Structure 1
């Protein structure tokens, strides 16, 4: 069984928690949950029963977990859950609070530290 991944992410001024766990060989699935204030907003569950006999199962499961964890953070950042999170219909949605932006060190624009960290976490680079 592979240990899990946990990240607290600030998105549009609010803190979200992403948690990914492996249930182990007896129940071979990976589950990722997106929380806000203790409430589950979204989940992804992936079975790996079909690959349980591979030689390097632990490494394969860890890689699957990382990708699924990053996918949930990407989906959050892409605003996929905004309607559910902020409980606004698209027609009358007020803009969500935007965190204060800091100038980028290279002068290429502005990005908050929270956005920089989230971008780093969701990149495909390991």
Structure 2
């Protein structure tokens, strides 16, 4: 079964942001990632995978592309790439790092609790994995 998307809320410099990544499916083969603050789109990235649609392991490749694109948007936010747009000329914006709304209880993927949701596992991976 194909993953249709990832959604995560992240607090960055005291403000809530939402990152959403979706696959539009084989009929419209592209992945879209959006970064929101209060319902306003701050940034977007769209990647087509039309050129690889006939590969055998398409589902896994698309899921990996989605994870990487989602993780990249989170990294860009944490790297202050959007700060000029977000905070204007406020050079004194708080310097708190991006943190998940619900911090992961465990940093190791091998010790995940079986009751942890897939979203929680992915969020933990996205935030702790800097590869």
TM-score (norm 2): 0.74
Q: Which residue of 2 aligns with 1:49?
A: 50
Q: How many residues align?
A: 109
The list of structure 1 runs, each at least 4 consecutive aligned residues, that deviate by more than 4 angstroms after superposition, is: 115-120
What is the deviation of 1:120? 5.3
Cα distance 1:120–1:13, how it changes in 2: closer, same or farther (>3 A)?
A: farther
| Superposition pairs of residues 101-116 of structure 1, within 5 angstroms | 114=99
TM-score (norm 1): 0.77
What is the deviation of 1:3? 1.7
Gaps of 5+ in 2: 105-122
| Superposition pairs of residues 1-80 of structure 1, within 5 angstroms | 1-80=2-81
Bigger radius of gyration, 1 or 2?
1
Gaps of 5+ in 1: 100-111
SS of equivalent residue, structure 1 residue 18:
strand
Q: Which residue of 2 aligns with 1:95?
A: 92
What is the deviation of 1:94? 2.9
d(CA) in 1 for partners of 2:26 and 2:125? Answer: 31
1:121 and 2:122 correspond: no
- C-alpha RMSD over aligned residues: 2.3
What are the Cα deviations for residues 27-47 of structure 1, in whole angstroms up to 9, with x where unaligned? 000000000000000000000
